[in-house]
Each structure stands twice: as C-alpha cells, then as structure tokens.
C-alpha cells in the first residue's frame, strides 16, 4: 500500500503593490507649483501695494510742492503791497490830496502783482483813488485806519475770490488796500493741469474752488472731498469724483494761516498704472507657471507611472516563475514520497547501467543497502538471461532521449517473443569510454518480474 505524503506547502506569493512613484512625483510637482503660485500672488500683492504707496506718496509730494508754490506767490503779493504803501506817490498823494497822482500810483500797483483791486484811503477813511480789473467787486473795508498789516479772509469778488490786505501809509496818513486775486496765485488755469488727467485746485474750507484748471467759483460735489477740506488735515486717498465721473486719487494739503488748501486729483488708472501693470504681469506669470506646472506634473506622472509599471510587470513575472518553481518542487516532492513509500523495487540508473539511486523496496528485494548499490552496474542485479532485455531497453531509452539511434546500438532489431526488440548481431552494449557523460534514465524493476537475488547471484 502506498502511503501518500504531503509535500511542502507553496508559500503564497506576496502580491506586488502598485507603484505610487508617479503619484508621488505628481504630488511633488503640484506642491512646488502651488508654492510658486502662492509666492507669485504674494509678490504681486506686495509689489502692487509698494507701487501704490509710492504713487500716493508722489501725489502727496506734488500737493506739498503746490502748497509751497502758493505760499511763495502769496508772500510775494503781500511784500508788493507793503512795498507799494511805502512808495513816494502814496505819501505825496495823501499829504497833498492829489487824486491824479494817487490814481496813477494805484494803477501801477495793480499791474505789478496778482491783484484784483487797489485802493488808496485817507486818514478819515475817504477814498482817494482806486484801480481794478474789469468785472471785479471790491471787498468792503471798515473806516478805521490800521496801524499794522491786516489780512482778511477769502471772499468772492464777482467771478473771482480775493483776500484783502490793508497796509498803513506813513504815520497815520491813510492806508493802501489791495485785494489779492487768489485765482492768479497758482498761475493760469491751463498751467494747473499735470500729466494726462491731473488737476490742481485751490479750495476754501467750505469747499469753494478758488483756483484750478476747471470749475472755478463752484463748490466741490463729493461729500468725501467736502469732509476732507473741512477737516483741514493732510490726506491722500482714493475717491469717486462726480466732477470727472471716475475713480480718482486725491491729495489734500492745507496752507497754513490762509484758510485754504491745495487739492490734487488724478485718475486712478493713471496713478496706479504701474501697480496695475505689475500686478497683471505677475498674475499672467502665475498663470503661466500654474499651467506649466500642471503640464509637467501630468507628463512626469505619466512617464514615471509608465516606468513604474515595468518593474511591477517584472515583479509579477518573477512571482509567477517562483510559484511555478514551487509547484514543480511540490510535484517532485510528492513523486519522491510516492517512490519512497512504494513496496516495489525502484532503481534509477544511467544509460550505461550505473545505479544512481534506489528506494527501500529495492533494498528489501535485492538485499543490499542503497549505498552499496549506488555506483555499481545494474547488470549485477539482473539475471543473465534477462540482461539483454535491460541493454535493449537502455538503448531504446537513449534513442528516444537523443532523438536518434545511438551509435553503439545494433542496426537490426528483431522482435523477441516477449515483445522486446533484441539485437541479432553485435547487440547493444554500454559505451566503453567512461569520459562520455551518459544521459540519465530510470529503470524500474518490479519484484514480480525478476527472480530473487538468492536464485541467480551465486
């Protein structure tokens, strides 16, 4: 009875995990792209804010420069008035009461400065002479002659705004009163524009436009502008201008001790052109970097993923080969266990009849240990009258293995009565040269076919 044995269990092949190199590469590229995008957007914001800050600072600087310009013009007008009051014509005209001399003198003063009206009053407040530009109404004066220079508040004199300056003449002889035309302090209206959309205005605390490139004599329309000039504090901001119907950047700078201030307006699109262009450029660069990063991520993902599949396929083939080898080893182990458990005598020998292995059944049948039989010729274990069959069998096996008839076997093979072919002349013998390596073959000798070793070995 053959005792079945269980061979070694095949170790389950570890399933190859899919390669995530492509995904990791894509994640790395996407992360780098995201960092670049965030950095560019942050840089765009910071750069835009810096350019905007500098643009606003530049507009504020222009407002301050305009204030200095107005102050210099005002101080110059006051100096002209003081100097005119000390001229000989004023003293002579007031002492002699010469109206013609006084008239000529005030007309000369009118053309020497930014004045709207020039008047000369006597000690009792009587008007001696006057000169004015057309369409201007003189500012009112009180009857008391001043002992010092007095400056009035801005007041409308027709289509213009003027500030009165009253200067004493001599030792209580009278006074020279001039109305300084504030619309002339900043120059001509055509000179008050700058760049393409910039405009300068001289405004009072109540929002009256005293001088400017346009809308002179009207009030500011924007509540924000009215609040800014009423506060009388320096400020630069962005507001919507109803006058121009657009977003503007405005800078207000008050003029000390005059009750007026300089208001600058310029279109935001012009002031912030640099910031907007830089921000737009960086946004386009960020978009380009994002698209490039996405393209690189997809390309690398596909490339690395494709390459990652190759090792995975190789790993699968190796696993399959290992499983196949394991199955072959299991089959061989099962076959070996069957041979070892068999009660039949089973010997394995080479083509020249050298025993290479044997099972316990052969040891019982022949009475020899397996170690004693290995390396010996099998002819010593076969009865003499059956050795030819063994030789013929080895020759047939050798011919089947080699695919041709061996050279040491006979060319004629008559059939024996037992059904085996047997050589008629030289027969079949093992190769004489031991240097030729024989092909392995197995020969199974069953106990029921051969006599026992005791009947023929003596």
pLDDT of residue 120: 92
In total, the chain counts a number of residues equal to 458
Q: Helix (H, G, I), strand (E, B), or coil: what is residue 449?
A: coil
Q: Which fold has domain 346-456?
A: Beta-Lactamase (3.30.450)
Name the nearest CA neighbour of 25 among 291, 309, 308, 289: 308
The one-character DSSP state at 136 is -
**Residue among 17, 31, 18, 27 at smallest CA distance from 301:** 27
CATH of 86-184, one of 3.30.450.30, 3.40.630.30, 3.40.50.720, 2.30.30.100: 3.30.450.30
Q: For residues 105 and 129, is the Cβ–Cβ distance under 8 A?
A: yes
Q: Residue 108: in which H helix or E strand, if any? A: helix 99-112
The answer to whether residues 139 and 152 touch, using CB atoms and an 8 Å cutoff, is: yes
Catalogue the E-assigned strands of 354-415.
355-358
Q: What angle do CA 242, 243, 244 make, to 5 degrees?
A: 95
Q: Same fold for the domain at 186-271 and the one at 346-456?
A: yes
Say how far apart CA 160 and CA 113 lie, in whole Å: 16
User: What per-residue confidence (pLDDT) applies to 40?
Assistant: 73
Q: What is the pLDDT of residue 145?
A: 64
Nearest to 149 by CA among 121, 120, 178, 109: 178
CA distances from 444 to 342, 360, 367, 372, 415 (A): 12, 13, 16, 18, 21
Strand (E) or helix (H) holding 304: helix 273-341
Residue 165: the pLDDT is: 92
Fold of 186-271: Beta-Lactamase (3.30.450)
Per domain, the residue ranges of the chain are 86-184, 186-271, 346-456
What is the mean pLDDT, run by run of 10 residues, along the chain of 458 residues? 40 48 68 76 75 81 88 90 90 89 92 92 88 89 76 81 89 89 80 78 88 82 87 87 79 88 85 70 75 73 65 77 89 85 84 85 82 83 83 79 50 40 35 37 39 41
As a 3-state breakdown, the chain gives helix, strand, coil percent values, each rounded to 5, of 45, 20, 35
Distance from C-alpha of 240 to C-alpha of 312, rounded to nearest angstrom:
66
Q: Are strands 355-358 and 440-444 parallel, antiparallel or unpaired?
A: unpaired
């Amino acid at each position: 009875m053959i005792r079945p044995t269980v061979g070694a269990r095949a170790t389950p092949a570890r399933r190859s995990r899919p390669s995530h190199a492509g995904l990791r590469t894509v994640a790395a590229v996407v992360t780098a792209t995201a960092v670049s995008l965030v950095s560019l957007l942050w840089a765009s914001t910071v750069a835009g804010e810096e350019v905007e800050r500098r643009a606003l600072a530049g507009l504020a600087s222009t407002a301050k420069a305009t204030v200095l310009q107005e102050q210099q013009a005002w101080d110059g007008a006051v100096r002209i008035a003081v100097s005119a009051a000390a001229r000989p014509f004023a003293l002579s005209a007031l002492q002699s009461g010469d109206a013609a001399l006084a008239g000529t003198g005030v007309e000369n003063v009118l053309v020497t400065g930014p004045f709207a009206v020039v008047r000369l009053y006597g000690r009792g407040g009587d008007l001696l002479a006057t000169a004015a530009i057309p369409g201007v109404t003189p500012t009112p004066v009180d009857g008391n002659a001043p002992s010092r220079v007095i400056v009035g508040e801005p007041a409308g004199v027709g289509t213009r705004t003027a500030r009165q300056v009253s200067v004493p003449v001599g030792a209580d002889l009278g006074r020279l009163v001039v109305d300084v035309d504030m619309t002339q302090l900043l120059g001509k209206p055509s000179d008050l524009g700058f760049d393409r959309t910039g405009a300068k205005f001289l405004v009072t605390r109540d929002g009256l436009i005293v001088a400017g490139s346009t809308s002179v004599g009207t009030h500011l329309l924007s509540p924000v502008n009215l609040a800014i000039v009423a506060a009388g504090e320096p400020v630069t901001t962005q507001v919507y201008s109803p006058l121009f119907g657009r977003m503007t950047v405005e800078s207000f700078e008050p003029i000390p001790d005059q009750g007026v201030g300089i208001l600058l307006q310029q279109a935001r699109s012009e002031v912030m052109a640099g910031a907007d262009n830089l921000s737009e450029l960086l946004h386009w660069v960020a978009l380009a970097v994002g698209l490039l990063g996405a393209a690189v991520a997809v390309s690398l993902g596909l490339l690395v993923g494709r390459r990652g599949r190759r090792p995975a396929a190789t790993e699968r083939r190796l696993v399959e080969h290992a499983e196949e080898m394991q199955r072959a080893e299991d089959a061989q182990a099962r076959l070996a266990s069957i041979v070892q458990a068999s009660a039949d005598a089973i010997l394995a020998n080479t083509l020249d009849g050298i025993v290479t292995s044997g099972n316990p059944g052969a040891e019982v049948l022949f009475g020899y240990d397996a170690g004693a039989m290995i390396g010996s010729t099998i002819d010593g274990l076969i009865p003499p009258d059956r050795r030819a069959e063994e030789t013929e069998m080895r020759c047939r096996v050798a011919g089947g293995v080699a695919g041709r008839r061996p050279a040491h076997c006979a060319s004629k093979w008559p059939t024996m009565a037992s059904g085996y072919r047997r050589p008629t002349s030289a027969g079949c013998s093992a190769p004489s040269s031991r240097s030729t390596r024989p092909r392995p073959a197995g020969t199974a000798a069953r106990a029921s076919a051969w006599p026992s070793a005791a009947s023929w070995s003596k």
